[in-house]
Structure 1
Amino acid sequence: MSDARALIFWGGWKGHDPEACASIVSDILRAEGMEVTSVEGADILQSEDLDRYALIVPMVTQVASDKEGVDRLCAAVRGGVGLGGFHGGMGDAFRDAPAYQFMVGGQWVAHPGDFIDYRIEVTRPDHPIMNGIDSFDYHSEQYFMHVDPGNEVLATTTFTGEHAPETAGTTMPVVWTRTFGTGRVFYSSLGHDSKELSEPAGREILRRGLVWATRTER
Structure 2
Amino acid sequence: MSRKALIAWGGWEGHTPERSAKIIRDMLERNGFAVTLGEGTGMFADPNLASFDLIVPVITMSTIEKAELNNLTQAVRLGTGLSGFHGTMGDSFRTEPDYQFMTGGQWVAHPGNIIDYHVVITRPDDPVTKGVSDFAYRSEQYYMHVDPGNEVLATTTFTDAHFPGIDGVVMPVVWKRRYGAGKVFYSSLGHTADEFAVPEMALITERGLLWAARD
- SS of corresponding position for 2:38: strand
Shift of 1:131: 0.4
Alpha-carbon distance between aligned partners in 1 of 2:173 and 2:37, rounded to the nearest angstrom: 26
TM-score by length of 2: 0.98
Alpha-carbon distance between aligned partners in 2 of 1:38 and 1:128, rounded to the nearest angstrom: 27
Counterpart for residue 94 of structure 1: 93
Shift of 1:115: 0.4
Counterpart for residue 130 of structure 2: 131
AA aligned opposite 2:130: N
Output aligned runs, 1:43-122, within 5 Å. Answer: 43-122=42-121
Structure 2: any 5+ residue segments left out of the alignment?
none
AA aligned opposite 1:163: H
Shift of 1:48: 3.9
Any runs of at least 4 consecutive aligned residues in structure 1 with deviations exceeding 4 A, and if so which?
none
Counterpart for residue 27 of structure 2: 28
> Are 1:181 and 2:196 an aligned pair?
no
Question: Identity over the aligned pairs, expressed in percent?
Answer: 54
Alpha-carbon distance between aligned partners in 2 of 1:61 and 1:138, rounded to the nearest angstrom: 21
Q: Note if contact 1:104-1:185 (Cα within 8 Å) is conserved in structure 2.
A: yes
Q: Note if contact 1:156-1:172 (Cα within 8 Å) is conserved in structure 2.
A: yes
Counterpart for residue 18 of structure 1: 17
Alpha-carbon distance between aligned partners in 2 of 1:32 and 1:65, rounded to the nearest angstrom: 30
Shift of 1:194: 1.0
TM-score by length of 1: 0.97
AA aligned opposite 1:211: L
Counterpart for residue 212 of structure 1: 211
Alpha-carbon distance between aligned partners in 2 of 1:46 and 1:57, rounded to the nearest angstrom: 14
Q: Note if contact 1:65-1:96 (Cα within 8 Å) is conserved in structure 2.
A: no
Q: Note if contact 1:9-1:41 (Cα within 8 Å) is conserved in structure 2.
A: yes
Shift of 1:51: 1.1
Alpha-carbon distance between aligned partners in 1 of 2:69 and 2:185, rounded to the nearest angstrom: 17
Q: Note if contact 1:118-1:138 (Cα within 8 Å) is conserved in structure 2.
A: yes
Shift of 1:166: 2.0
Structure 1: any 5+ residue segments left out of the alignment?
none
Alpha-carbon distance between aligned partners in 2 of 1:58 and 1:159, rounded to the nearest angstrom: 27
Counterpart for residue 146 of structure 1: 145
AA aligned opposite 1:102: F
Shift of 1:14: 0.2
- SS of corresponding position for 2:41: coil
AA aligned opposite 1:25: I
When the two structures are aligned, how many residues end up with a matched partner? Answer: 215
Deviates most, 69-78 or 40-49? 40-49
Alpha-carbon distance between aligned partners in 1 of 2:22 and 2:30, rounded to the nearest angstrom: 12
Cα-to-partner distance string for 1:142-165 (whole Å, 9 max, x where unaligned): 000000011000000000111011
Alpha-carbon distance between aligned partners in 2 of 1:82 and 1:198, rounded to the nearest angstrom: 25
